[in-house]
Structures are given as C-alpha cells and as structure tokens.
C-alpha cells in the first residue's frame, strides 16, 4: 500500500514535534500536531481539558481525531504520548501511512520536561511520574514495528532514518 502520512508516536518529550516540523520542511508535506488541533477546536489547553473534564474525555477527543486523520494523506502527524493507550488509535493511523515510534532514555526525557508545566500527567514529582508512566507504557511503544532510537542523534539524523523508511 502507498504510504500516505508519517505518524510520529512516542513518550512525551521524545522530539515528535521537532522532528515532525523538520520532516515537513524536508518533504514539503504539511505538519499537524494532534494536541494543537484538539486545543484549537476546544478553545482551551490540554491542562484545562484534563482539569475540567478529566483524562477519559481527552482520550475520547484524541481517539476521534485519530480516526479522522486516518482518512487524510500527505501529512506529518505528531501524536500525543498517550496515543498508544488505545490500540484502535494505532490501528487506524497505521492504515494511513508509516507509524514511527521515537524512543529515548527516561533520563533524557526527565531533563527535557524539567521546566514544563503544560503536561497534566507530569504534575507533582516529574521524575517519578516519567519513570512510572514510561515503564507502564514501554510494551505499547515497543509493539510498534518501526522504532527510532533517538539517544545521541541530531534531529537531522533522526529525520533521515524516518525518511529512508518512508521511501523504502
Ligand atoms: C500525554 C502527552 C501529551 C498530551 C497529554 C497527554 C500522554 O502530549 O497529549 O498531556 O498521555 O503522554 P506530548 O507527548 O506531546 O507531550
């Protein structure tokens, strides 16, 4: 089947947005960020959605958007880190292109999220939360066939690996 979209999956702060924008620049494909679309449509931040309506409501919005984006083509799609929690999301997005899972060490993720306040699941002790969530979700990320280990790589090198796979 022709690969129509590139879908970037991975834990929070693994570089999905940075790599997605770079890939968009390199390919001329349009970049979309699922969290940004949800925030724009809802007219409120992810933090507000979690605080007011709870995580299950956010997951419903995320799932509906995954199905919608599975009908598109020519996009670089950056997903939220929890997209893997519902296998239907990955199954839908997988029909539409190449799903690439960005992986990195929790230590690097902890360093990157240190001063971030926009991620409701990391409220409180960030290090503890990252380690716990990462371990819980590890099998879900690892079940994605195309894995990209990002540790020690420059964004251009990561993008290159993804493009090679996309074009192969
Ligand atoms: C989440 C990751 C966030 C965002 C929401 C939930 C998660 O996206 O969707 O805060 O469950 O891992 P990023 O991966 O872009 O931080």
- For ligand 1, what atom is nearest to the CA of residue 137? 12
Q: Which residues of 32-44 are buried (b: 16+ CB within 10 A; e: fewer)?
A: bbbbebbbeebee
What number does the ligand 1 atom closest to the CA of 85 have?
Answer: 11
| pLDDT (average), residues 111-115 | 86
- CA-nearest residue for atom 2, ligand 1, is 81
* 69-104 pLDDT per residue, tens: 999 999 999 999 999 999 999 999 999 899 999 999
- Shortest-distance Cα residue to atom 11 of ligand 1: 82
pLDDT band at 2 (very low <50, low <70, confident <90, very high): low
Q: Atom 15 in ligand 1: which residue has the minimum CA distance?
A: 80
Residue 117, pLDDT score: 83
- pLDDT for 116 equals 81
Provide the pLDDT confidence category of residue 115 given band limits of 50, 70 and 90.
confident
Cα(31) to centroid(ligand 1), Å:
17
**Is pLDDT above 80 for 3?**
no
Q: Cβ neighbours of residue 148 under 8 Å, at least 6 residues apart? A: 100, 101, 102, 103, 158, 161, 162
Name all residues whose Cβ lies below 6 A of ligand 1: 12, 35, 46, 80-82, 119-121
């Amino acid at each position: 089947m022709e690969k129509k979209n590139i879908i970037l999956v991975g834990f929070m702060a693994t570089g999905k947005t940075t790599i997605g924008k770079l890939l968009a620049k390199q390919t001329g494909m349009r970049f979309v960020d699922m969290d940004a679309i949800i925030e724009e449509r809802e007219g409120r931040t992810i933090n507000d959605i979690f605080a007011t309506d709870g995580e299950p409501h956010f997951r419903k919005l995320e799932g509906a958007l995954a199905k919608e984006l599975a009908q598109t083509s020519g996009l670089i799609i950056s997903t939220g880190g929890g997209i893997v929690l519902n296998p239907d999301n990955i199954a839908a997005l997988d029909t539409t292109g190449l799903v690439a899972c960005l992986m990195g060490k929790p230590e690097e993720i902890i360093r990157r999220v240190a001063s971030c306040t926009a991620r409701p699941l990391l409220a409180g002790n960030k290090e503890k939360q990252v380690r716990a969530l990462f371990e819980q979700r590890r099998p879900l990320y690892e079940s994605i066939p195309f894995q990209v280990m990002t540790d020690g790589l420059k964004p251009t090198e990561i993008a290159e690996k993804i493009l090679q796979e996309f074009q192969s």
